[in-house]
Amino acid sequence: MQRQNLGDMLLAANLIDEVQMQIALAEQRQTGKRFGSTLVELKFIDENVLAAFLSKQIDIPCISLLHIDIPKKLIRKMNRDLAQECKAVPVRLDENSRLEVAMADPTDGEIIERLEEAVGMEISPLIAPESSIRTIIDRIYPDIEVSPEDTLSVKNPVSRPTDPEFWDLIAELDSGDLDQRLTRIEKSLDQIWVLLEKVLRTVESRDGVKDQVQ
C-alpha cells in the first residue's frame, strides 16, 4: 500500500477531508516523513484511530505495548538506533518462530527487509501507535546519562552499548548471582587491604631503623 493510497482510504472513510489530505501531502513532500505520521503531527487524525484503521484495512493485528514484558533475548536482537530509525520494537516469537515486531508503518516493505536482515529472522509485523513505540524504545533502550560530578563533561547522553557481550553480562547480573559476586569481590578487597597494611608497617619500621642509625 502506497502513502497516496492510505490518503485515499482515509478520505473514503471520512476520517480526513480533501483539504487535510492535500495539506498533509504538501507537508510530507517537504519533510520526507511518512504520510500517516504527518497526519498525526498535523492533528488531522488521532494516532490510535489511524492504527486501528490500518489494522482493519490490511489485516495486521494492532497491539498495545505499554503493559508487555519483552524478553531480554529479543531486545538484544535490535539496537536503539535501528529501533528509532525504523519506528519498530521486537515483541515476541510467534508459533512459527518468526519475530513479531510492532511497527508504526507495517506497510513499508523496505523497513521490514532491513529489519529481517539486521535480526537474521523472518519478521511478522504488528501495528502500534508511534508514540507508544517511542515510549517503549526509551524504556528498553535507555540512554546512559553523565552526572554533573563526573570528571568529563559531556553535553549529549551516551548511547547504551549494543555489543552482544554487554547484554550477555547484563543477563548474568539479572540471573540472581549478583550478591555472590559482590561478596567474593569484598573478600578479595579485604585480603588486599591486609597485605597493604603489612607492607606499610614494614616500610615504616625500616624508616624508623634508618632514622635511629643516622
**Pure H helices in 141-177:** 164-174
In which band, very low, low, confident or very high, does the pLDDT at 153 lie, cut at 50, 70 and 90? Answer: very low
Pick from 121, 15, 147, 126: which is nearest to 68 by CA?
126
> So what's the pLDDT on residue 29?
92
Residue 116 predicted with pLDDT over 50: yes
pLDDT confidence bin for 166, thresholds 50/70/90: low
Q: Which CATH superfamily is domain 59-146+154-175 in?
A: Type II secretion system, protein E, N-terminal domain (3.30.300.160)
Q: What is the mean pLDDT of residues 137-160?
A: 56
Which of 2-6, 52-56, 87-91, 124-128 has the lowest average pLDDT?
2-6
Q: Is the pLDDT of residue 23 over 50?
A: yes
Q: What is the mean pLDDT of the chain?
A: 79
The reported pTM is 0.60
For 15: left if phi > 0, alpha if psi spans -120 to 50, otherwise beta; the answer is alpha
List the grid coordinates of 72: 531480554
Average pLDDT over every residue of 8-30: 92
Return the closest-CA partner of residue 89 out of 98, 79, 118.
79
Per-residue confidence (pLDDT) for residue 151, from 0 to 100: 39
Distance CA 142, CA 51 (A): 25
What confidence score (pLDDT) does residue 197 get?
Answer: 73
pLDDT of residue 202: 74
Per domain, the residue ranges of the chain are 3-45, 59-146+154-175, 180-207
Would the pLDDT of 186 be above 60?
yes
| Banded pLDDT at 178 (limits 50, 70, 90) | low
CB 123 within 8 A of CB 92: no
